Structure 1
Amino acid sequence: MGQPQYLMEHAEEARRLELKTEGGPVFRQALWAGIKPGMRVADMGCGSGKTSYFLHHLVQPAGEVVGVDASRSRIKHAQESYGAPGLNFACRDLAASLGELGTFDFIWVRFVLEYHRKKSPEIVGRLTKLLNDDGILFLADLDNNCLNHHPLPDRLDKALKKLMLVMEKERDFDPYAGRKLYGYLYDLGFQDIKVEMEAHHLIYGPLNETDRYNWSQKLTVAAQRSGYRFPEYPSGYREFQQEFLSFFSDPRRFTYTPIICCRGRKPARQLKPRS
């Protein structure tokens, strides 16, 4: 089998993930979810390994973190950058069997399900089987992803909306993944479910270099891989790219994206999905 086709796959993806991953939100969200020292933790879709590194700090002493990602190059980067006693990495497809990884007290899944629109319920069900009794499953994703900008020119607004529709249908991307997370946990019978929402992107005024790089890479990689022809623009993608970057660089621009975090506890009995 070939490696899964990740929408943001490109040579600099590990760098993009490194730049946009900050310790503060990881610590805050993981502590809110209930991570504790001594736990065995899985970071599913670990990317560059930076989040796994932060989670590893939170489970010391005696805790263990296993970062899991489908990209061999990013797993290699993670091992070389962050590998340490109690912090290991494994190259696995989340849509395949993961039983050989063992079981966990806490499973972290952040910014992953948005790339698996059709298979998200199946993936969450599979991960649930890896949880120990009373284990915690943490799901976090963006909602209305890439769609909240003001004031957008009409042509750019129409192009972005059509682009996201194409990515949903053709690239299995889900710009509304966040709002579905609570339902996954509820349907699987999780207990002590908690939900939190906050701004992940909140961009106004002068554009900092991290946001400039992150969004230009998202635009360059995802938009081109989508297959959308950008009929709104006589010159196609390049004209769209130019207009978006000009808009995004304007300090009057206002952009936001909410992140929705859900956590639930697997009861000490066999889960029975709710009808």
Structure 2
Amino acid sequence: MKHKQAYLMENDEEAHRLELKTDANAVRKQALWCGVKAGLRVLDLGCGPGITTEILHSMVAPTGSVVGADFSAERLAYAREHHAGKPGIEFVQCDLTAPIDDLGQFDVIWVRFVLEYFRKESPEIVKRLRSLLKPEGYLCLIDLDYNCLGHYEMPEPMNALLPKLMTYMDDEFNFDTYAGRKLYSYLYDQKYQNIEVELMAHHLIYGEARHADVFNWLKKVEIGTEKMQCFFKDYPGGAEAFIADFRKFFLDPRRFTYTPLILCKGMRPHEDAAG
């Protein structure tokens, strides 16, 4: 049975997880590649708890502005409490799967770690964003590929079960394990110009893992197992044993974990300014 569309990682600590795992230097590097600079008006679509919105704001200040948009009232409340209060930064609630008509137009639209949660709707989301861009503005799509599957040397039967779990998430929860590789085609199909693509490591974990990485990965495993209990009836010891086995694996400094990050940007042609 397909599950009703909802944020897959919803839990009481999600704002904290998102804040903790955000690498400000990496965000700035990616934003520079996307063309974010002083004076621009930027839309941070799927802004979550607002930390990335504030980083983007620091890059467009003092004359630019950033709008952080998200569906979650809880995350927006957190964002307003922790990252608002400065000129040129605001947070608004919107449904990414519906038309967004009241925000005006932007020089850059930043969509990072969002489309992976909308496997079916992603092409339509990208199509609708075109009208929010100024002519010659840039749409920047950033997402993971081969999500959660890049581990060595994971013992059996955990190694055999993990790909099945990700396939189940894709089919039942509208997740997209391979979102990153699709981004270029979304821009190409919408006839964006000057399309560029970059590939870099998002996760590159070896040796002793940082606290932020440990918390992030163990929380993902915890939430995932809660939503997919049916998969663990044949796992030795059940879901609790799977969590314990993953923790042991992840805390072993011999472990190697990586996830590729794909960045795509494209320019809205000037000649279609009328929409």
Q: TM-score, normalised by structure 1?
A: 0.94
Instruction: Kindly provide the CA deviation profile for residues 209-254 of structure 1, in whole angstroms up to 9, marking residues without a partner as x.
Output: 1111010111111332245422441432111111111111111100
Instruction: Kindly provide the CA deviation profile for residues 172-226 of structure 1, in whole angstroms up to 9, marking residues without a partner as x.
Output: 1101000000010011111111111111001111122111101011111133224
Contact 1:171 1:226 in 2 (8 A): no
Of residues 21-30 and 112-121 in structure 1, the stretch that sits farther from structure 2 once superposed is 21-30
The whole-number CA distance in structure 2 between the counterparts of 1:230 and 1:108 is: 37
Q: What's the secondary structure of 1:159's corresponding residue?
A: helix
Gaps of 5+ in 1: none
1:256-271 equivalent positions in 2, closer than 5 A: 256-270=258-272
Contact 2:249 2:255 in 1 (8 A): yes
1:194-273 equivalent positions in 2, closer than 5 A: 194-226=196-228, 228-270=230-272
Which residue does the alignment assign to 1:161? 163
The whole-number CA distance in structure 1 between the counterparts of 2:94 and 2:214 is: 31
Identical counterparts, % of pairs: 51
Q: What's the secondary structure of 2:47's corresponding residue?
A: coil
Q: Residue 100 of structure 1: which of 93, 98, 102 is its match? A: 102
The whole-number CA distance in structure 2 between the counterparts of 1:30 and 1:68 is: 17
> Residue type matched to 1:85 in 2?
P
Q: Residue 176 of structure 1: which of 178, 188, 202 is its match? A: 178
TM-fit CA distance, 1:154? 2.4
The whole-number CA distance in structure 1 between the counterparts of 2:5 and 2:179 is: 19
> Residue type matched to 1:94 in 2?
L
The whole-number CA distance in structure 2 between the counterparts of 1:200 and 1:246 is: 22
Q: What's the secondary structure of 2:102's corresponding residue?
A: helix
> Residue type matched to 1:65 in 2?
V
The whole-number CA distance in structure 2 between the counterparts of 1:63 and 1:138 is: 18
Gaps of 5+ in 2: none
Contact 2:229 2:239 in 1 (8 A): no
Q: What's the secondary structure of 1:80's corresponding residue?
A: helix
1:27-106 equivalent positions in 2, closer than 5 A: 27-83=28-84, 84-106=86-108
The whole-number CA distance in structure 2 between the counterparts of 1:18 and 1:41 is: 20
Change (3 A) 1:43 1:79: same
Runs of 4+ in 1 over 6 A off after TM superposition: none
CA RMSD of aligned residues (A): 1.4
Q: How many residues align?
A: 269
Q: What's the secondary structure of 2:157's corresponding residue?
A: helix
Q: TM-score, normalised by structure 2?
A: 0.94
> Residue type matched to 2:54 in 1?
Y
TM-fit CA distance, 1:4? 5.3
